[in-house]
Structure 1
């Protein structure tokens, strides 16, 4: 190439002079995007159908209960705040099974994790944002019907102090449930980049564990071994929550024989729940140490 044909073009490149928002902004953005995605917001219309339908299914029974309480001028709500999530556990399980895999599977499948971790976000930011978003989505799903029940109870002119106490106990219960279910579902979903496999695996973990525990509890109750009924409840997520709220939140146990764990057993239940939440966080950190390379 001759010297006469050599040219240097000024393409007007300029350094970025705007604000550098850093890790905190990236973490908040990832949390917001993941939370919105859990209800199909910002995604295709078909992605909104299932989460919005399940949200409606969670709230409609509460509306019916409120209508009955107001129409009959009941002295108390037919369903306790702490019992509502236990009764609709199938809906909660279906929601978390459908949304937890979508929160993590696409990043794994299309190998975008290293792009997240290049800068400025780090592994802990990604895990915290995803965990917090899934737990928040579940809390919205489970707390919304409790709000409906509480407002309905006030409209029915039920005792304000009793209803407020029950409402607060219900919120604590669903908060623990949201953290536990979010952690378990994300750990299971993060194992595979295939969303379908993740959905099936989450459903299997939640459904099989509850079915097996309930069956063994019923057998133990028939045999008159009430102590065993309480200890067996440690092996299923939903019975763990049931045990904690029965021991500390004044809830009526759904265990066979209607005898929940004692206070001492309740401490064990609470420690197991907190340990599982922390363990799920640790497993997610370990998982993303590998896939983030």
Structure 2
């Protein structure tokens, strides 16, 4: 039987000091939270700060992405080539499968887990808005893709200088290649994040990204080849509007002096290139808008 040990007439109220202290440090605000989320997401894309198993796939893909560039440089230096056998602007086109695998693996990792485990509202309970979350995730994914695609271009450029190729020509090609991979990174990041954010299941997100990139490119390439065989060369360039990788091919062909990978090298003219560029910009803006709409539906 419980007994009341409080002396008669004494106040039963007790105040216990259990050691909690108020925070009187600096309030870093939204900008710091946004930068932290960007940094954490960028590091996570390469498995940094995560388990050893999480580092395996992104690091292998990064190494595989750089390996052809290293081989090309070694051959160019050893054989004293007059020019590199692969243009700077063509490197990302040739290695698109690796880029697609990286995006398919890392875009769901960036956003799907937050949705699945319902941790997104915890971000919004801090001094960070939905726009900050979307912008940080988008910028981090685009930056990760840029690192993946730009480093091999840098390797090619350094190798061309070691091989003592024409400095002006190589510098111009290098600049064009960097612009191309920057545009590709922003476009692919938006598409990948949208596909991943539509489902909290990572496996579905991976499949969706691969399907959008692979199926669209395969369909466009097949129809372009058929048009080439049938002599309908006029439609080849317009068909490139229906796949992300052919969109980048068309933009760099029209404005960056690249050689088109389309059948017969029938890339878009400068006039059609404007349409390509507008479609790319529309897809980037549309991806951001879809992400903003998606995260408006995430309840607190």
TM-score, normalised via structure 1 length: 0.98
**What's the counterpart of residue 211 of structure 1?**
218
**What's the counterpart of residue 109 of structure 2?**
102
Name the SS of the counterpart of 2:297 in structure 1: helix
Among residues 8, 16, 33, which one is paired with 2:15 in the alignment? 8
1:192 partnered with 2:199: yes
Aligned counterparts of 1:157 and 1:88: Cα–Cα separation in 2: 26
Cα offsets for 1:9-33 (capped at 9, x unmatched): 2335432110000000000000000
Cα offsets for 1:102-137 (capped at 9, x unmatched): 000110011011110112010000000000000000
User: Tell me, which stretches of 5 or more residues in structure 1 are unaligned?
Assistant: none
Question: Does structure 2 retain, via aligned residues, the 8 Å contact 1:105–1:194?
Answer: yes
Aligned counterparts of 1:254 and 1:262: Cα–Cα separation in 2: 14
Give the Å deviation of 1:73.
Answer: 0.5
Give the Å deviation of 1:231.
Answer: 0.6
Give the Å deviation of 1:78.
Answer: 0.5
1:89 partnered with 2:120: no
TM-score, normalised via structure 2 length: 0.96
Among residues 32, 39, 48, which one is paired with 1:41 in the alignment? 48
1:53 partnered with 2:66: no
1:60-71 equivalences under 5 Å are 60-71=67-78
**What's the counterpart of residue 250 of structure 1?**
257
Question: Does structure 2 retain, via aligned residues, the 8 Å contact 1:184–1:280?
Answer: yes
**What's the counterpart of residue 201 of structure 1?**
208
Among residues 158, 162, 178, which one is paired with 2:185 in the alignment? 178
Give the Å deviation of 1:6.
Answer: 3.6
Give the Å deviation of 1:292.
Answer: 4.2
Among residues 247, 269, 293, which one is paired with 1:286 in the alignment? 293
Aligned counterparts of 1:91 and 1:234: Cα–Cα separation in 2: 22
Aligned counterparts of 2:221 and 2:19: Cα–Cα separation in 1: 69
Aligned counterparts of 1:149 and 1:266: Cα–Cα separation in 2: 27
**What's the counterpart of residue 272 of structure 2?**
265
Cα offsets for 1:187-235 (capped at 9, x unmatched): 0000111111100110001000000000111111111111211111000
Please provide the CA RMSD for this pair: 1.1
**What's the counterpart of residue 27 of structure 1?**
34
1:70-81 equivalences under 5 Å are 70-81=77-88
Question: Does structure 2 retain, via aligned residues, the 8 Å contact 1:143–1:171?
Answer: yes
Cα offsets for 1:161-198 (capped at 9, x unmatched): 11000000000000010001000000000011111110
Give the Å deviation of 1:274.
Answer: 0.7
Give the Å deviation of 1:47.
Answer: 0.3
Aligned counterparts of 1:28 and 1:262: Cα–Cα separation in 2: 40
Aligned counterparts of 1:102 and 1:265: Cα–Cα separation in 2: 36
Question: Does structure 2 retain, via aligned residues, the 8 Å contact 1:123–1:292?
Answer: no
The alignment of Structure 1 onto Structure 2 pairs a total of residues equal to 293
1:136 partnered with 2:143: yes
